[in-house]
Every structure is written in C-alpha cells, then in structure tokens.
Amino acid sequence: MTERHLAGLLETSAESYPERTAVVFGDSRLTYTQVNAAANQVANLLVERGVKPGDKVALSCPNLPFFPIIYFGILKVGATVVPLNVLLKAREVAYHLDDSGAVAFFAFEGTADLPIGDTAREAVGGTDVDLVVFAGGPAPWSQQSPAFETVGRDEDDTAVILYTSGTTGQPKGAELRHGNMRHTALAGEKMYGADADNPDTYLCVLPLFHAFGQQVIQNAAFAFGGTVVMLPRFEAESAIDLMLREKVTFFAGVPTMYWGLLGALTPEVPIAELAANLRVAASGGAALPVEVHKNFQDRFGVTILEGYGLSETSAIASFSVFGEEPRVGTVGRPIAGVEMKLINEDWSDVPTGDPDVIGEIAIKGPNILKSYHGRPEATAEAIRDGWFRSGDLAKKSDDGYYSIVDRSKDMIIRGGYNVYPRELEEVLMTHPAVSLVAVIGVPHESHGEEIKAVVVRNKDHDDVTEATLVTWGREQFAAYKYPRLVEFREELPMTSTGKILKREMS
C-alpha cells in the first residue's frame, strides 16, 4: 500500500525514523511517531462522522502542525483532500465546497485579523457539509484512538484536488492522483540530492494549501524523513531568525521572498552562519529577477535553483540541475520521467533547433493531473494524448533548458499567488458603477505584479472614485486578489470581433 498511497510518505518515515523531529512550530516539536498518531486520530474521527473512501474533505489552515496532521488523516481514510486558501471570503469558500462536493470541512479558528472559523461557518450555513473547527486547545480528534489501519488506494485514485484557473471563469479543481503526488515528492532525490540518511531541515514559509509548499516542502520533507519548520506568515526578519535557530538547510520561496531576505540582512545578521547551514535554495511561482539571483548567491554562497510547474503538474515539471553552474533566467530541464516540448496553438510541434522560437509549453509524464473535477470539456481541451498544454510561452535551448517568455493566459501572479482576471471581472461587473472592466497585471517591485482594474463607468455613476472601488473590492475578495489600482477610461481597446485587447493596456 505504501508504494502507491500518498499517506505512505508519512507512514514509512514514522516506521523508519520514529523519534526524528518531523515538525517544528515555535517551541513545539513533534516526532514522526507523534504526527502519524495524530493523523490516525483524525482518520478515526472522520470514520466516526461517516466519511468514506472517495469522499472529498476540505481543509483551511495556515502553516501550523494541524495542516499535515489533518491532511494525512484525510488521506488515511481513502478520502480526497481539498486544500483551501486561508484568505478566501465566505462566498469563495462556498463555491469551492460546492464545486468539489466536499462532505466535511476542517477549518482553523483563526484570529481577529484572519477569522477563518467565522468565514467557514458562514460558508457552510444551510448546507450539509460537516464542519470541524479547531484552535489551540484540545483538538476535536484528541480523544480518538492513535491507531488506524490506512485504507488502501490505487496510484490512479485522486488524492488531492487543487483549485486553479485560467481565463475561463471560476476556478477549476485539478484532480491529482496518489501517483502524481508521490512522483514529484520523491523527485527530490535526483533534483537536489535529498537523502534520508542526511535529512534536510526545511523552512516552510510557502503556504501549504498551495501546490509549491505542499509538494516541495511538506511532502518532499516527509518522503525523506526531513524536518519542517513552520512559519505561518512570511516576514523576512522572522524567517532569518528561524533559519539561524533551527539551522535550516533548505529554503524554497517565491522571488519576493528572496527579495525580502536580502533586504533584511542588516550588519547584525550573522550571514556567514546562515550561509554555512543553507544547502539548497529553490524558487518558483514567478520569474526570478537576475539581480536578486546574483545578489543572493553573493551573500549566501548558494545558487538559487529555479523550477517551473503548475498545480496541474503536481507543482513541478522542470528544475535547475543541482551542482551545475546555474543558467540564470531559465527554469531548468524536465525532471526525471517528465517530457516537455513547445507546441503551436493547433497542438502541432514547434520546429526544434532555433533557440529564439517561441512556443507554448506542453508537458507529459507521471506528474500530470487526472482531470479537472466535473469538467470533462475543460479536461479534453487541456490534455491530448497524455500531453498537457500549460498556457505558458517559452523558448528552449539546444541542450533542453526552458526560459519562460510570457503567459498565453491572462493569469496574474501577485506575490506568488495566482489571480484570475475573469473571476474578478465578473464580480466587479456587479457593482452599479461599473459598465465594463478589464483586470490586468502591471509590474510591481516587490510583488512581481499588482492587480489593476481598468473601468468604464456607467453614465449615471460618473462620480465613483478609485478609492470607492478599491474599498468595495477589498470586501468582495481575498486580500491577495482585490485590485489595488483602478483606472477609469471612456472605452477599452478591442479587436474587430469585440474582444478586449488587454495587451494594449498597462
């Protein structure tokens, strides 16, 4: 079972390294035995509440020890985990619960600034979803037995549903198999020399509800008996303190995090000690500025390994080659077992041999999603003969290194979070002052991109201000989503067929 089941990553390490530290949070340290036992308690609670193999169970939790405990507890009963962004509003949470068909929902109580529990209660109101809210006291599963016999699953069964989208409206749930998730978690052995006999200590600042943090940090660490040091919210000074205290050897983040770390290096920071501990630095989620790459290498003495992937590729498709001179500006080559190529709009292969030719990246391998949940048409559009079309445009060098040029989709990446314009546009259009709107991404020094709404006002609301729409948007969307910038225009540029030309706006 453990050779096919995603929960086997935890169970194998708990059997092999029972007293090794699995998770660190503040002064709390949990061994693999303790994490596995707590996950078993969650599994027993789920069985008691009637959750069956194949059921969908949602999870909304920051980077806390609760996340892996509940995540693997859900997997142990043969159910599917549906991780949710903790910043989502009740309307957005309700959509994800309904679309996934979740029968149960674990939600952290949260704080006054981030009331996840209240949001969850509002989202499930009037539904049959079984809500379990937990906080810092005794967990709802604490009285359950710490023993549980994991329900067997095939590698083709769905383990996780990660929500993603392009420009086609509401987010889609990418169904990832047990085999998909295990493949990329175990790929660390060849990607960066992960070794269970010399385990890494991972700083977990990437949100675990996202594919990057979930796979490259949590699941990869558990696959090789590593230690996950959790930081719920990235703050450069706190990250540096933890890196020093816990002797962190593995750091993964989005480019803005590297930018933040460099900015926090005061003369009082023992940079030599940081650099002596750090073995691997990995970046993804957006293009890493060349200057940030060079400055980090100069200060830390470690090359940042850039990678590329999507939720649909179980987080990883390509990665820099560990131990080789970096190809700054590239996202490396396909990881073991994965194929990549460039295609045209009609799926035909882009002719090879010219490194300046641009094409759309297509990916094939054991990392590719099973399907989009409940969307056969979208699945058929995205996957053909095992090849998944990414929507990302790139160039390919003669020796197989890929360089991302642009996104053929309109997706915006703000601070490492994916933001989908169509979803925002549909909601913004419900405001009485908005006649027409286009949401675009504009360059931003620290976030990579900022979200901008270009608005044509209704004639009887020509007094609406930028501040009014920004405030309204803040109430409608998660904090990373709402447009901070609003520009009013008399009209939007369009093609002869009436399509808005976003490339002519900035």
The predicted pLDDT at position 407 comes to 66
Give the three-class secondary structure for 102.
coil
Q: To which residue do tokens 């300046």 refer?
A: 356
pLDDT band of 166, cuts 50, 70, 90:
very low
- Judge residue 289's burial from the number of C-beta atoms within 10 Å of its C-beta, 0-12 exposed, 13-18 middle, 19 or more buried: middle
| pLDDT tens, position by position, 7-56 | 999 999 999 999 999 999 999 999 999 999 999 999 999 999 999 999 99
Question: Which residues touch 359 (CB under 8 Å, ≥6 apart)?
Answer: 341, 342, 343, 344, 350, 393, 394, 396
Which of 2.30.38.10, 3.40.50.970, 3.20.20.540, 3.10.20.30 is the CATH number of 304-407? Answer: 2.30.38.10
Share of the chain above pLDDT 70, in %: 97
Please give the C-alpha separations between residue 5 and each of 117, 223, 422, 485, in angstroms, as whole numbers: 30, 12, 36, 45
The predicted pLDDT at position 93 comes to 97
The predicted pLDDT at position 364 comes to 98
CB 100 within 8 A of CB 161: yes
What does the pLDDT average to over 468-493? Answer: 93
Report the candidate in 77, 6, 75, 70 with the shortest Cα–Cα distance to residue 44.
Answer: 77
* Higher per-residue pLDDT: 393 or 42: 42
The predicted pLDDT at position 289 comes to 78
pLDDT for 169 beyond 80: no
The predicted pLDDT at position 287 comes to 73
| pLDDT tens, position by position, 399-447 | 899 998 766 667 788 988 878 787 888 789 899 999 888 899 999 988 8
| pLDDT tens, position by position, 225-265 | 999 999 999 999 999 999 999 999 999 998 888 988 998 99
* Higher per-residue pLDDT: 500 or 334: 334
pTM given for the model = 0.86
pLDDT band of 1, cuts 50, 70, 90:
low
| Range in 34-38, 272-276, 492-496 with the lowest mean pLDDT | 492-496
Share of the chain above pLDDT 90, in %: 75
Kindly list the domain boundaries of the chain, sorted by start residue.
8-233, 304-407, 412-504
The predicted pLDDT at position 496 comes to 40
* CATH number listed for the domain at residues 8-233: 3.40.50.980
User: 3-class secondary structure for 151-176?
Assistant: CCCCCCCEEEEEEECCCCCCCEEEEE
The predicted pLDDT at position 165 comes to 59
Find out if CATH 3.30.300.30 is the number for domain 412-504.
yes
pLDDT for 498 beyond 80: no
